[in-house]
Homo-oligomer: A and B are copies of this chain.
Amino acid sequence: MSISFQITHVDGRARAGLLRTPHGEVQTPAFMPVGTQATVKAVPPRDLEAAGAQIILANTYHLYLRPGDDLIARRGGLHCFMGWPHPILTDSGGFQVFSLSAMRKIDDDGVTFKSHLDGSVHRFTPEKAISIQENLGADIIMCLDECPPPTGHDYNRIALARTHAWAARCQQAHRRADQALFGIVQGGIFPDLREQSARFLTALDFPGYAIGGLAIGESKADMFQVITWMDDLLPSDKPRYLMGVGEPTDLIRAVARGVDMADCVLPTRLARHGAAFTRDGRINMRNRIYAEDDRPIDPECDCYACRHFSRAYIRHLLQAGEILGMYLMSVHNIAFLISLMREVRAAIIEGRFQAFAERWLARYEAASVQHAAHGAS
């Protein structure tokens, strides 16, 4: 087995665990920064390490198109290519084909699409998605899946059948013993489809399961309902990876429902647009109320940006369009989520997760309401 997973503490539905991979250990619950094009945008590996990141994600769709998975394989794989010797997870490319490519045509065998870069035509099959991910060489790789909109039972049923057939083919095609292949549960917001998907994939006995098809337009209530179903349906001894979730309050509520891992571009994307996470809610660092604010972004944060620079300086950098502004904001937002997950984990281990979560959410959400009232977010 390429990875092992051990749950060390349970508190309510929340779990603290240890995921061992060929490139090192990941303490769960864990937030995984996204390095779409083999770089977490604007953040050098050194700063990811300093922030406490233990695992990052990279995107198969992007790296297949540029610079090419063959080229990366010849460089010794993704870890070596991007200077990140720690665990990496790659997605299957499915989600990007459905959200980014200029054209796509799906059939039972695979999906044909046009590159968003140059319009060239490409085809992903389950076998191709595995072959690319074997070239990239991540510790954890994903099955190719179809990602339909979350509503519409009929289409979700058809798409799910395809996702299941593809999962079996991915498992069949996968050769590298030093990689763990995760299945992806789909089924939109429909309990019967989600149950069917969990049962089908569990029968294939994957070393881990992703919860896919969420955070793409459904309501928060629907999202957490599905996550709760998953907690009941998925084997409790395997890691659960919630795809595409990175809002701090969502992370806490997902962990409260048995999620072990999550990824999202949110912290770095928000950062580049000037929004920063703080323990007192999300703030818009471009707001003029920060022009002469000598405090760090978050006075309780100990990241490089917060230890050395003021809101006034960072606001100036953002207003002036300086790269250093996007860098400092990105470093902070990543460090914020990772430090949050570290606090969450400590609370689970000490059996005080529910109290922690309630206090944390109350402070963050009260402040967010206040910021909105004062036009600061």
Tell me the smallest distance from the CB of A57 to a CB of chain B, in Å: 16
Tell me the smallest distance from the CB of A277 to a CB of chain B, in Å: 20
| Per-position 1/0 for A54-88, Cβ under 8 A of B | 00000000100011000100110000011100000
Are the CB atoms of B67 and A323 closer together than 8 Å?
Answer: no
| Per-position 1/0 for A28-49, Cβ under 8 A of B | 0000000001110111111000
Tell me the smallest distance from the CB of A321 to a CB of chain B, in Å: 9
Are the CB atoms of B294 and A67 closer together than 8 Å?
Answer: no
A323's partner among B45, B316, B326 (CB-CB below 8 A) is B326
As for how many copies of this chain the complex holds, the number is 2
- State which of A96-104, A154-162, A186-194, A303-311 sits at the interface with chain B: A303-311
Q: Is A349 an interface residue (CB 8 A)?
A: no
Are the CB atoms of A82 and B327 closer together than 8 Å?
Answer: no
Are the CB atoms of B291 and A42 closer together than 8 Å?
Answer: no
Are the CB atoms of A294 and B75 closer together than 8 Å?
Answer: yes
A316's partner among B66, B310, B317 (CB-CB below 8 A) is B66
Q: Is A324 an interface residue (CB 8 A)?
A: yes
Are the CB atoms of B38 and A327 closer together than 8 Å?
Answer: no
Tell me the smallest distance from the CB of A132 to a CB of chain B, in Å: 16
Give A41 to B42 CA distance when docked, in angstroms.
13
Are the CB atoms of B75 and A38 closer together than 8 Å?
Answer: no
What residues of chain B lie closer than 8 Å to A37, measured between beta carbons?
316-317, 320, 322
Within 8 A of B (CB), among A4-50: 37-39, 41-46
Give A291 to B75 CA distance when docked, in angstroms.
10
How many residues from A make CB contacts under 8 Å with B? 39
Are the CB atoms of A74 and B292 closer together than 8 Å?
Answer: yes
Are the CB atoms of B316 and A327 closer together than 8 Å?
Answer: no
A313's partner among B38, B310, B312, B326 (CB-CB below 8 A) is B38
A83's partner among B41, B308, B319, B320 (CB-CB below 8 A) is B308
| Contact status of A75 and B41, CB under 8 A, knowing A67-B316, A326-B323 | no
A66's partner among B81, B319, B324 (CB-CB below 8 A) is B319
What residues of chain B lie closer than 8 Å to A41, measured between beta carbons?
322-324
Give A83 to B327 CA distance when docked, in angstroms.
15
Give A316 to B46 CA distance when docked, in angstroms.
19
Give A75 to B38 CA distance when docked, in angstroms.
38
Give A44 to B320 CA distance when docked, in angstroms.
16
What residues of chain B lie closer than 8 Å to A325, measured between beta carbons?
39
Give A44 to B309 CA distance when docked, in angstroms.
11
Are the CB atoms of A44 and B316 closer together than 8 Å?
Answer: no
What residues of chain B lie closer than 8 Å to A67, measured between beta carbons?
291, 312, 315-316, 319
Q: Identify 13 residue pairs between A and B in the complex whose beta-carbon atoms are under 8 Å apart, listed by A's number.
A: A39-B322, A41-B322, A42-B324, A45-B308, A46-B308, A62-B320, A71-B312, A75-B294, A75-B313, A81-B310, A83-B309, A323-B323, A323-B327
Known: A38-B317, A44-B304, A46-B304. 16 other contacts (CB 8 A): A38-B313, A38-B316, A42-B327, A44-B324, A66-B320, A67-B312, A67-B315, A67-B319, A71-B312, A75-B292, A75-B310, A75-B313, A81-B312, A83-B313, A323-B323, A323-B327
Residues of A within 8 A of B (CB): 37-39, 41-46, 62, 66-67, 71, 74-75, 81-83, 291-292, 294, 304, 308-310, 312-313, 315-317, 319-320, 322-328
Nearest 10 CB-CB pairings of A with B: A42-B323, A39-B324, A67-B316, A37-B320, A83-B308, A39-B322, A83-B309, A81-B313, A323-B323, A75-B312
